[in-house]
Structure 1
Amino acid sequence: MDLNDRNIRTVEDVLRLLDGLFAPSADRWTEGGADWWDGFYADRDKPVPFFVAKPDENLVSYVEQGLLPVGGKVLDLGCGPGRNALHLASLGFDVTGVDLSPTAIAWAEERAREAGAENVTFVCGDAFSSPALDGPYDLVYDSGCFHHLPPHRRVSYLALLDRVLAPGGHFALTTFAAGEGGMGSELPDADFYRQGKLDGGLAYTDTELRALFADLTEVDVRRMRDEPATSAAFGESFLWTALFRNR
């Protein structure tokens, strides 16, 4: 959108204008940031903890505790190389993973072929506008996407959940935690627009998460458990984990 034109007619026009206030980078979830993420995923040997093909420890725990019924359709938002999507597929879920980065999607598809997984599909694009994400989904899972959204795109995120999450379905996420031992920026929302960047991601408190997703029923909100390198699961305590159920 040309910011010099008088062409705002809809809420989506306003959201896209606000998108344009942020430079394309890791801070930018939209198509303009795909190149940055492509570069991020290009070197598979980088010492990035979540490059390892391990599922999140909270996701494993939800299934083991019976908090998530096994089976049904899953949408994995910001799936990256597919580590959580492939874990869910191995349990019998029918999984769709979506990510902006073609490089991440190609890596995820390669992993799926190696694993012989047939009940997982990967989509490259913007989750808010992709027609391939038809729903309804019994589980929407987000591991590290939400904290890269600029504040105004929470509107789009909540609208997506409202549109695709099945009645009685579950929504789960991991996101940067504010406070001691946390990670991410704790600036007020307005300051991000003044500086034109998100400082690598937004940190949230548990109270903020509960308020943002107040239309859903809380099942579990806690810090992610640290997992050693030898563990079969990924875990870092600078993240919140949260599980909610649709009413």
Structure 2
Amino acid sequence: MSKQAQFMDVSTYRGALNTSFVHRYTHGEDEWSWDIGMAKAARVFLAALGPVTNQNILDAGVGRARDASEFILAGHRVTGLDIVENSSWPLLRKRWGDRLTLVCSALQDWQPPAGELFDGVLDNGCFHHQHPDEWEAYLSAIRQCTRPGALIGLNVFGVDASNPAPGWREMDNQRQGYFFTEQGVRETFEHFGFTWQDLVVIERQHGEAVYLLALVRT
């Protein structure tokens, strides 16, 4: 991991994120689309939703819709948000029809259709890239678009042996990533008003690195 991150202002950072993700998708460098740890996180979230089908799920950071497609196959309806649209979206819309709605927007900017509430939300690797000044707006947006008691899964970077201290790290193309301790994950999401349910530690495909999947309720 590189040196401790130094944050730019929100607007500039948003532009850097957009540029980074456009570059990664255009050049086939979106390793998260086939990351085995993130795939496991989606399966854990799906199991935690329980046996009731036809639930309304929000996939924040839908990407190439790997997770969303799995949720649809399990009998659910999905709205997928992402800050950039990638080349797979036209085919995904054709394949899934009205079972999948794809929207190009940041979560904290998005206004869901009037009256639409979600039974569950999965953020599989997006929150830890958000500018710290937008954490509150980002998590408030999740609370505002969900039913009371909805299941929220937030999968974030965890500290590991090579990077034991929590905090920001510089990543590629001016992206930043926050690495959490297990205690820090719980404290963060409880601070922003979520009810704690569980934490699942998931191995990443990079050495000793891990994800921390927080399962919380509104």
Deviation sequence 1:103-152 (CA, Å, 0-9, x none): x2x41342453x44540110011221223455311111101110111111
Report 1:119-134 matches (<5 A).
Answer: 119-132=99-112
Q: Is the 8 A contact 2:78 2:101 kept in 1?
A: yes
User: 2:80 corresponds to which residue?
Assistant: 97
Between Structure 1 and Structure 2, which shows a larger proportion of helix residues? 2
Indicate how the Cα distance of structure 1 residues 201 and 185 shifts in structure 2: closer, same or farther if over 3 A, else same.
farther
* SS state at 2:107 partner: coil
Contact 1:176 1:184 in 2 (8 A): no
Cα pair 1:223 1:237 within 8 Å, conserved: no
CA contact (8 A) 1:182 1:238 kept: no
> Partners in 2 of 1:183 and 1:109 — Cα distance?
42
Residue segments in structure 2 that go unaligned for 5+ positions in a row: 1-7
Distance 1:110 1:169 in 2: 30
Q: 1:198 to 1:38 in 2, by over 3 A?
A: closer
Residue 220 of structure 1 and its aligned partner are, at CA, apart by 1.8
Which position in structure 2 is the counterpart of 1:25?
16
Conservation of the 8 A alpha-carbon contact between 2:129 and 2:175: no
Q: Which residue of 2 aligns with 1:238?
A: 210
CA contact (8 A) 1:176 1:182 kept: no
Please tell me whether the aligned partners of residues 89 and 117 of structure 1 are also in contact (alpha carbons under 8 angstroms): no
RMSD: 3.3
2:45·2:122 contact (CA, 8 Å) conserved in 1?
no
Structure 1 pair 111/59, CA: closer, same or farther in 2 (3 Å)? same
Taking CA–CA contacts closer than 8 Å with sequence separation of 6 or more, which of the two structures ends up with the larger relative contact order? 2
Greater displacement, 237-246 / 164-173: 237-246
1:186–1:203 Cα contact (<8 Å) kept: yes
Q: Is 1:205 equivalent to 2:196 in the alignment?
A: no
Contact 2:45–2:153 (CA<8 Å) still a contact in 1? Answer: no
**Using the alignment, how far apart are the partners of 2:14 and 2:59 within structure 1?**
26
Tell me, yes or no, if structure 1 residue 42 matches structure 2 residue 33.
no
Aligned residues: 204
Query: How far off is 1:174 after superposition?
Result: 1.0
Structure 1 residues 36, 58: closer, same or farther in 2, change over 3 A?
closer
Equivalent in the alignment of 1:29: none
Q: Which has the larger radius of gyration?
A: 1
Letter in 1 for 2:26: A
Listed one character per residue, the Cα deviations across residues 156-209 of structure 1 (whole Å, up to 9, x for unaligned) are 112112211211111002111123266997249xxx9xxxx9763111122122
* Contact preservation (8 Å) 2:20, 2:174: no
- In 2, Cα distance between equivalents of 1:53 and 1:98: 19
What is the rounded CA distance, in whole Å, between the counterparts of 2:100 and 2:77 in structure 1?
A: 6
Determine the structure 2 residue equivalent to 1:13.
none
TM-score of the superposition, structure 2-length normalised? Answer: 0.77
Choose between structure 1 and 2: higher strand proportion. 2
Q: 1:182 to 1:244 in 2, by over 3 A?
A: farther
Question: Do the aligned partners of residues 182 and 94 (structure 1) sit closer, same or farther apart at CA in structure 2, a change above 3 Å counting?
Answer: farther
SS where residue 203 of structure 1 aligns? strand
130-139 or 116-125, which deviates more: 130-139
Q: Return closer, same or farther for 1:243/1:118 CA change in 2, 3 Å cut-off.
A: same
Query: Which residues of structure 1 form unaligned runs of 5+?
Result: 1-16, 27-32, 228-235
Q: CA deviation at 1:20?
A: 3.5
Which of 202, 209, 215 matches 1:224?
202
Match of 1:155 in 2: 136
Which whole-Å CA distance do the structure 2 matches of 1:70 and 1:79 have between them? 20
1:164 lines up with 2:140 in the alignment: no
Distance (whole Å) between structure 2 residues aligned to residue 80 and residue 123 of structure 1: 11
